[in-house]
């Protein structure tokens, strides 16, 4: 596995690259649809590859560990074979899900004890166990086990948490290096920068992570409630330090505007549940702005969902019909909206790559940010 930096924008820190893996190449910048339990919700693999044109998807260690369990995944020959998807996969370590279970988990130096949201049973994740589970799942890119600090978060807590995340990272690498892979292809471990919204902590963490000389690096603990200005500020602080010859992954971000602004700051990889989560509530992203398809104004609008859309659903179905499906809670409506939103995200990122290569990214980005901020 290796990263190839192909072009650097002249006006911003945006860049175009290619991440080579044993399951295929990933053109960056890239958005990665979230497949929490081994599926991007309601969308089968044909649509993921052909309608949405995703180059890599995510799996979630916490959810896959609980169901179906590593025994089932190993028996299938790994997650790729289990879900019949032969493109690259990334798994997060479960750290964010543990963070979101704040009422039913306990964090210690050794690891995290947490209660399953499914049946109430207790489980214990250590850095070593998080690595072993991800080796069993078999993703191409696996993440270090970290603590995601909440927002707001006081300075001392953020500092102590960051230091523990670094100690956990050392344990992750030790376990990763001594544990062979199970399926005959290369896996890469990405460390995660933490430090909440404190510049000095982010700088310290970024230097620590850069010194690991990993194949790629991630930025965590953002998009957890902080203002957009702080998201951008902390991202820029970190990208100024992380090595330019390695891919940079901003975890859990975000809106289409967030993506464009963070591409300009030097981010290469993104993931977020927003496209599918918003789709389930009838919120559509388009090149002209955001649509709440449940609004009455669309009731008799028989124009295509998005005349500029890249997927077949955009021209095949009308706004009025999609509104009817969403209002009556027909699952087809959620499928259509999810395909549209994800295809829009991937098309937006693809266009960003073109604009970077053409040298017109900054002007295009500023124009798109204005459009994307509109409510239609």
On the 0-12 / 13-18 / 19+ scale of CB atoms within 10 A, 221 is: buried
* Residue, of 352 and 149, whose pLDDT is higher: 352
Nearest to 322 by CA among 309, 374, 345: 309
93 marked as part of a ligand binding site: yes
Q: According to the annotation, is 92 in a ligand binding site?
A: yes
CATH superfamily of 2-269: Queuine tRNA-ribosyltransferase-like (3.20.20.105)
CB-CB contact of 220 with 187 (8 Å): no
pLDDT tens-digit readout, 10-28: 999 999 999 999 999 999 9
Q: Please give the positions annotated as active site.
A: 92, 271
Which range (46-50, 103-107, 153-157, 360-364) has the least confidence? 103-107
**For the range 228-233, what are the long-range contacts, defined as Cβ-Cβ under 8 Å and sequence gap of 24 or more?**
228/257, 228/258, 228/261, 230/197, 231/258, 231/262, 232/261, 232/262, 232/265, 233/197, 233/199
94 assigned to a ligand binding site: yes
- Please report where in the chains the tokens 């290096």 appear, as a residue: 177
Give burial (CB, 10 Å; 0-12/13-18/19+) of 201: buried
Report, in angstroms and rounded to the nearest whole number, the Rg of the chain calculated over CA atoms: 20
Q: Where are the domains of the chain?
A: 2-269, 279-372
Banded model confidence at residue 94, pLDDT cuts 50, 70, 90: confident
Q: What is the mean pLDDT of the segment spanning 147-171? A: 96
Tell whether residue 254 is among the known ligand binding residues.
no
Known binding residue 11? Answer is no
pLDDT tens figures, 324-339: 999 999 999 999 999 9
Task: Report whether 221 belongs to an annotated binding site.
Answer: yes
> Which pair of tokens denotes residue 203?
């700088």
């Amino acid at each position: 596995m290796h990263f190839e930096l192909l072009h650097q924008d002249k006006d911003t820190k945006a860049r175009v690259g290619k991440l080579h893996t044993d399951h295929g190449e990933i053109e960056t910048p890239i958005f990665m649809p979230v497949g929490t339990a081994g599926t991007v919700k309601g969308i089968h693999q044909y649509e993921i590859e052909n309608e949405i044109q995703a180059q890599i998807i995510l799996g979630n260690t916490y959810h896959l560990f609980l169901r179906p369990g590593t025994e089932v995944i190993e028996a299938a020959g790994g997650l790729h074979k289990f879900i019949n998807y032969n493109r690259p996969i990334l798994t997060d370590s479960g750290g964010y899900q543990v963070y979101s279970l704040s009422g039913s988990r306990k964090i210690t130096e050794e690891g995290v004890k947490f209660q399953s949201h499914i049946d109430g049973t207790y489980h214990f994740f250590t850095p070593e166990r998080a690595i072993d589970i991800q080796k069993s799942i078999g993703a191409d890119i696996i993440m270090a086990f970290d603590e995601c600090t909440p927002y707001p978060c006081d300075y001392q807590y953020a500092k102590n948490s960051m230091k523990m995340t670094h100690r956990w990272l050392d344990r992750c690498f030790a376990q990763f290096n001594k544990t062979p892979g199970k399926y005959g292809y290369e896996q890469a471990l990405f460390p995660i920068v933490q430090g909440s919204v404190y510049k000095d902590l982010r700088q310290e963490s970024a230097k620590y992570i850069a010194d690991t000389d990993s194949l790629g690096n991630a930025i965590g603990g953002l998009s957890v409630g902080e203002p957009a200005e702080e998201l951008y500020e902390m991202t820029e602080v970190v990208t100024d330090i992380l090595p330019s010859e390695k891919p940079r992954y901003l975890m859990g971000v975000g809106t289409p505007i967030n993506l464009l602004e963070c591409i300009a700051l030097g981010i290469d990889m993104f993931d977020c549940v927003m496209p599918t989560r918003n789709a389930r509530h009838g919120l559509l992203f388009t090149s002209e702005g955001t649509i709440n398809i449940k609004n009455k104004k669309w009731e008799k609008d028989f124009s295509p969902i998005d005349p500029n859309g890249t997927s077949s659903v955009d021209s095949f179905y009308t706004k009025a019909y999609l509104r009817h499906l969403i209002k009556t809670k027909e699952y087809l409506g959620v499928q259509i909206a999810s395909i549209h939103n994800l295809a829009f995200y991937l098309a937006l990122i693809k266009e960003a790559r073109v604009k970077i290569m053409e040298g017109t990214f900054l002007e295009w980005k500023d124009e798109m940010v204005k459009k994307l901020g509109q409510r239609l």
